[in-house]
Copies of this chain bind each other. A is one copy, B any other.
Amino acid sequence: MNLLKGLEKEYYIEKYTIQSLFSFDISPFVQVFQFEKGNFIIQEGSAPEYLFYMVEGKAKLYVSHKNGKVSLINFLTPPIFMGEIELLNEEKYSKSIQTSSKCICLGIAIEKCKEKLLADAHFLKYLCIFLSNKSTAHSTKYTKHQAYPLENKLAEFILLSSHEDIYREKHTEISEYFGVSYRHLLHTFAQLSEAGMIEKIKMSYKILDREKLQALADEIK
């Protein structure tokens, strides 16, 4: 993890017009964090120090269970707040966030400006809209996931997460994301392969028939 300074810092603050979220001068409280792939932005159980706003990169949200196992809950993409619930509720972090690529996050020191944030209608309005969209998105995802078999959801996911027709994600992680067993995920990959939509190449899958995959994905909603 790197704290950017000087021109680099200014570059991101201006590019993403961070000031426009606030009605007071936020510059004394903003840090620009650069996280390398695999870094933890937030660790479960630790006390919140910053309200983060991710502007570049990709990250994953995890929760860990009593038995020590860890589940992938969601993929996070910018622009997104992280740690806003803890800002509002004075709790320790209940989830972890780990980057899956290099990430740029603006971090606002909570201790220094919690009062200012919670009294700034402009910021709060923005945060409300963010939370409300998050809630809507969550609802939609929940409905989808409840109503369709893995085959359809996986087709959609392969299309979304592949790069240049190559899908390369960890099965262990994806089975957790979908809340299905590892075994069943493999079954479903085998189905898609048999149907000629994808092909296994070494440790990854190549998309062979984008239309068929899309048709499967389109059965959802």
Interface footprint category on A: 20 to 34
Q: Could you list which residues of chain A lie within 8 angstroms of chain B, going by C-beta atoms?
A: 63, 73, 84-85, 88-89, 118-121, 124-125, 127-129, 131-136, 138-139, 142-143, 145-147, 179
Which residues in B have their C-beta under 8 angstroms from that of A121?
A: 118-121, 124
Most buried by B among A118, A132, A147: A132
Secondary structure of the A side of the interface? helix
CB–CB A179/B132 < 8 A:
no
User: Could you tell me the distance between the alpha carbons of A88 and B124 in the complex, rounded to whole angstroms?
Assistant: 11
Q: Which one, B132, B142, B146, contacts A131 given CB within 8 A?
A: B132
Chain copies in complex: 2
User: Could you tell me the distance between the alpha carbons of A10 and B202 in the complex, rounded to whole angstroms?
Assistant: 72
CB–CB B136/A135 < 8 A:
no
Which residues in B have their C-beta under 8 angstroms from that of A147?
A: 179
CB–CB B135/A128 < 8 A:
no
CB–CB A128/B88 < 8 A:
yes
CB–CB B129/A89 < 8 A:
yes
CB–CB B146/A135 < 8 A:
no
User: Could you tell me the distance between the alpha carbons of A89 and B130 in the complex, rounded to whole angstroms?
Assistant: 10
CB–CB B138/A138 < 8 A:
yes
User: Could you tell me the distance between the alpha carbons of A121 and B23 in the complex, rounded to whole angstroms?
Assistant: 12
Which residues in B have their C-beta under 8 angstroms from that of A119?
A: 121, 125
Q: Which one, B89, B128, B145, B146, contacts A124 given CB within 8 A?
A: B128
CB–CB A135/B131 < 8 A:
yes
Which residues in B have their C-beta under 8 angstroms from that of A146?
A: 145, 179
